[in-house]
Structure 1
């Protein structure tokens, strides 16, 4: 009938849109890899980024009103800084939404910034997943990028959260956090985005609502079917198969990272080799934790990826 024909036509239309999006993303990656701007000389990279970040903050106030980013956002205090840039708190003028403005100086390693932008967009492609950080805006300037991200307020990362809870958190709190972290990670993988750096520092929690967000796709990649040969995340979260076989797959490695997060939330420290040995043989326990909780850790942190619990 006519209704069936309309539905079929709509499905074809959606499929074509999805295909076009994927090819645009691939083109984006290719452009990123080809581009290699000249790097500055003189100061060390980290010192230069810090100095440039402070200069930029002062200069922002004097920007002309026609500048795309700086006519739409106010800039506040510095929230943090790392190897690739400086992050400031900000407010979107049109609705007073709290945001984070990440200023990144262009270097010869700027390919990862293109990748971070593209993967953050792709991870949010489709219906809204509140547990995944959203990229709200970004601009490409001759010497730097500006990324505008969601900024849950008041929030802290899970390292700060554990510290505020005197070193570890209870099983019920951990359950609530891990459900959200697992959901975010699962949705990323379904959208062919491999974060590759799921860790305490990259999980933000709202201190008032306990809502969790997965952030930072700077170490990420497109999730493929072939094993990865190099590890770009944080070493303490890397899976054992990477060291034993020299390769690993995205899905079971994400499960392993989530297991490390869960163990650290409950125990206040990373698992030792002996802890992992006991977990593998279902002999690990901790006073105050249920048998179900200990069993779950055992199937998240099994040294054989094929024996780990599936992410779904």
Structure 2
């Protein structure tokens, strides 16, 4: 317990990303440590969970100011891609005993914790891929077959949410549960695969596939000059839309679809959605606490104080497409023209501009349906070009 406490303080001390903020219609904000390896998401204590004391803060749409920090998350270096069946899942009511080393280096502290976990007996832990407010991610290798994996270690907070998942007798941490739900058979190749996990008293560990080679979409776009050609953007969007629809059909609301949470294989152009840490189970009557990243937050969160999964996902996909195609976040002027459906941009096809406008309508009821996005003329026009 003491070792985990020291490690938690170390993570919070070293993290230089902006803190997360609670967004509610009441205009209250709660500060949390930032989410791992991302531009800091907004975390609202999760709907139905206990909330802490709040500081007053007001956030208006669309005059927004957002951080634009380079992400650290890059899983790849260069190896063949592997496929494997889902691994065993274990739950432990107590954390293994840990010995505190008063003068241990920061890396040694982390290794001490990982060295005591049961996952360590099945995986070789390698170099650290990145670190964030809730923990850190290491590259790893599965002992039985040398499969390359990513090992995510998360320190629990007093309000870490738990859910019940079919096939598991006990409640498990929300992030693990949602990832398992999204990984149901038949598996969607557009969603990161969870191979193994472990739940301890004060931390949990997830083992996921590590595609080779790959980088997150933000790094990929930057590598291509801050924006992508329309054909590449269309290929990526088609896969992200499929991932979003699979999640919704399986009762999972990701809530944080953004460039940093999408991995791109530069060789095959395969895309994978990662990180369900801000997610929630699907709810019929919507949500009143926003958990995600401010730049992708829809206007109804502050205008109406309530939002629903599908229209919110469509909005975030619209922001994603805009940033891929244009190379910048939409300005207030852009959003005003989009709301009037009169927005265009030189170099983009009419169908692409219409696709963006259909996603970024300020009225959620005026947005395109998530299930119909793949049938938009923008995707049909690509088929005509191929023919």
- What is the TM-score when the length of structure 1 is the normalising length? 0.81
Tell me the number of residue pairs that the alignment of Structure 1 and Structure 2 aligns: 273
Gap regions ≥5 residues in structure 1: 1-36
Q: Please name the residue that 2:195 is paired with.
A: 136
**Of 239, 243, 260, the match for 1:180:** 239
- 1:164-189 per-position Cα deviation (integer Å, ceiling 9, x unaligned): 11110010000000000000000100
**Of 2, 6, 12, the match for 1:46:** 12
User: 1:76: how far off?
Assistant: 1.3
**Of 45, 53, 70, the match for 2:120:** 70
User: 1:243: how far off?
Assistant: 1.5
For residues 193 and 105 of structure 2, the distance between their equivalents in structure 1, rounded to whole angstroms, comes to 26
Q: Please name the residue that 1:20 is paired with.
A: none
Closer, same or farther: CA 279–52 of 1 in aligned 2, 3 Å: farther
The answer to whether the 8 A contact 1:53-1:86 is kept is no
Q: Please name the residue that 2:358 is paired with.
A: 299
The answer to whether the 8 A contact 1:162-1:169 is kept is yes
Superposed, which structure 2 residues align to 1:18-97 within 5 Å? 40=5, 43=9, 46-47=12-13, 54-59=107-112, 68-97=118-147
User: 1:110: how far off?
Assistant: 3.1
Closer, same or farther: CA 250–53 of 1 in aligned 2, 3 Å: farther
Report whether the alignment pairs 1:122 with 2:181.
yes
Gap regions ≥5 residues in structure 2: 16-35, 37-103, 163-171, 372-387
Determine helix, strand or coil for the equivalent of 2:283. coil
Q: Which has the higher helix share?
A: 1
**Of 328, 348, 357, the match for 1:289:** 348
For residues 145 and 60 of structure 1, the distance between their equivalents in structure 2, rounded to whole angstroms, comes to 11
Q: Please name the residue that 2:160 is paired with.
A: 110
- What is the TM-score when the length of structure 2 is the normalising length? 0.66
CA RMSD of aligned residues (A): 2.6
- 1:233-292 per-position Cα deviation (integer Å, ceiling 9, x unaligned): 101101111121111110010000000000000111111121111112222111111001
Greater RCO structure (CA 8 Å; 6+ sep) = 2
Report whether the alignment pairs 1:233 with 2:292.
yes
For residues 111 and 195 of structure 1, the distance between their equivalents in structure 2, rounded to whole angstroms, comes to 15
